[in-house]
Amino acid sequence: MEIRIGIVNTGRELSFDTSSSADEVRSQITSALEQSATHLTLTDIKGNTYVVPTANLAFVEIGTEESRRVGFVA
């Protein structure tokens, strides 16, 4: 599943794929914001860790868990 994170005053977005479900990612983000945590930590499918300051979050886009179809649809 793809995650896109927009950061305030930054021209580019942080975009990566994760093996976590949409509900897991959503709960991590909401709990970090509700608890006024200073940083949000997420991990991608390759094992890389991303630490994002919550004060500078512009948006978080959580992609769908549906895999891409290959071939033609009739």
2-46: pLDDT as tens digits? 999 999 998 899 999 999 899 999 999 999 999 999 999 999 999
Q: Which of 43, 61, 69 is nearest to 2 (CA)?
A: 61
Can you tell me the distance from the alpha carbon of 62 to that of 60, in angstroms, rounded to the nearest whole number?
Answer: 6
Q: Which two tokens stand for residue 8?
A: 């305030």
Within a domain: 73: no
Does pLDDT of 66 surpass 70? no
74 in a structural domain: no
Q: For the whole prediction, is pTM greater than 0.85?
A: no
Is there a domain that residue 29 lies in?
A: yes
In a domain, 68, yes or no: no
Residue 21 domain-assigned (yes or no): yes
Which residue from 4, 52, 12 is spatially nearest to 32, judged by alpha carbons?
Answer: 52
Q: Are 62 and 1 in contact (CB under 8 A)?
A: yes
Model confidence at 1, pLDDT cuts 50, 70, 90, reads confident
For residue 36, the enclosing domain spans: 2-62
Q: How many domains does the chain have?
A: 1
Q: Is 14 contained in some domain?
A: yes
Instruction: Evaluate whether residue 70 is within a structural domain.
Output: no
* Amino acid at position 57, single letter: L
